[in-house]
Amino acid sequence: MIAPGKKRFLFALSFTEGGAVMATELIGAKILAPYFGTSLYVWTCVMALTLGGLAGGYFFGGKLSQKVNSEKILFTTVLFAAVYMCILPFFSPLFLSLAGLTSLIPAVLIGSAVVLLPPVFLMGMVSPLLIKSLTEKAEESGKRAGEVYAISTVGGILFCFLTGFYLIPQLGLQYSLLLVSGLLVIFPVIYFIKGKNYFSTLIYFVCAAGLIYSAAKKTNSVYVSEGLLGKLEIRDDLYQFSTNTEREPCRLLLMNNVIQSAMSLKTGESKLEYTSLIQKNLDTLGKKPKNVLLLGLGGGVLANEFAKRNMLVTAVELDPRVVEVAKDYFSLNKGVEIIQDDARHALYGINKKFDLVMLDLFHGETTPSHVLSVESFERLKSLLNEDGLIVLNTYGYLKDKTAEGNLILLNTLQKAGLNYKICWVGDKTHEDFRNFEIFCSIEPIQQNLVAQLEEKIPDVGEIVINTDAKPVLEYANARAAKRWRFEYLRNFVRMTPL
């Protein structure tokens, strides 16, 4: 008969292993995000390889459970899983940077396999091995399997909340991995110490010491933070934004290695072209907005530009880290009113009218589909003064399947009763190196705009729109997101370690 103390020990291992699986999936996705983004493709690969690793682990663990020394195999497996999680930050930045040199989908698959498959496969082996250790009679096997998987699942649920809401935002990826692997390794340490096998436990502590040293090393970044919305980084760097300008000292805000804001350290002005294009077109249209709504704060550089023109700016930002860095590193104007909320949710709590609404909601290479639906635009339209403008940015694609998301977006704007004109920023002739700024209004815009697009908009054929009930935009933009991020990271941004 299995001693009650041993049974509790094995059930505690099951609970911790289930939690470690979910923590590894969440942390692994965040490790991949700065290199490959958080698009539909990335999450598909992460989830598929997690399930694939678990399936392989269940099968192989079941085979090994038939061995005579299955209990030793169980704790050795747990030790190896913890060690891999511990050393992952050592080699993943270099490997993922090299993987990023290939096209996006193979790179994501390879990167996900390196980050997720080994630890998840090893932890998948744990449950069948645990069931064998807990089962004395054949007729007990079903009961023990149910207990192990139930306890493991409960651990997964609790660790999912703990990792997402506390560990990653508070500790970052490296220390979160260290903590989870430290909890996991307690079990083999106790087992091997009882069996007087001290060498096996030494392996983990050597790896843990190396990770602590690696995490403590300084980087050239001014600020780095991990959170549910991704890796946020502030860099001070010499940067060249076009072939017509020289490199100059700039402060960059990056989300998952994609530049969200760029400010000259000499003048404090925005270095992103779309900012000046908005100002030029406001002047062209003779618009002098008084009340401005920004959906997406970024570094606050655009908010500062508007505030300099005596505009009253209200900015909605979901990520509290962005608000913090805008104040601390980009000198956010104190007159800017901040609403910390999801952009769509915030719209229903705002009661005043605006002359200009700016949707600056790119999160890396993805845009939130729920803020670009017919219903969302109708709500925005109700917050707009009669002669007001809505401005949003999107990819610069108009050809082939890559343009599908843009065409749906334009249809959605029309369905919401908005007229629009499209302007371009970047390289006019190269779709991968340009973005569109779409200027929308209730009444048609009569004047020609600066950098107005002259290309014919393709006929989308069957009218497809993005609605709350059928949010198709993210899927339709998947090809554009994949292609844009690959070209962007290859040409514009240097990778930095975790």
Residue 323 has pLDDT above 90, yes or no: yes
Residue-by-residue DSSP string for 345-391 = HHHTT--S-EEEEEE---BTTB--GGGSSHHHHHHHHHTEEEEEEEE
Residue 210 has pLDDT above 60, yes or no: no
The more confidently predicted of residues 227 and 473 is 473
CATH-assigned architecture of domain 239-491: 3-Layer(aba) Sandwich (3.40)
Residue 484 CB contacts under 8 Å (≥ 6 apart), including other chains: 365, 395, 432
pLDDT in tens, 218-266: 455 788 887 767 788 999 988 776 666 678 899 999 887 788 899 999 8
Whether the CB-CB separation of 378 and 352 falls below 8 Å is answered with no
Q: How far apart are CA 96 and CA 86, in angstroms?
A: 17
Domain residue spans in the chain? 4-217, 239-491
Of the pLDDT bands very low, low, confident and very high (cuts 50, 70, 90), residue 45 is confident
Containing 426, the helix (H) or strand (E) segment is strand 419-426
Whether the CB-CB separation of 232 and 496 falls below 8 Å is answered with no
pLDDT in tens, 361-396: 876 566 788 899 999 999 999 999 999 999 999 999
Q: What are phi and psi of 148, to 5 degrees?
A: -65, -50
Return the structure tokens found at 212.
């602590």
Q: Do domains 4-217 and 239-491 have the same CATH topology?
A: no
460, with CB counted inside 10 A (0-12, 13-18, 19+), is: middle
Cβ-based neighbour number of residue 346 at 10 Å: 18
**Which CATH number is correct for 4-217, 3.40.50.200, 1.20.1250.20, 2.30.30.40, 3.40.50.720?**
1.20.1250.20
Whether the CB-CB separation of 393 and 274 falls below 8 Å is answered with yes
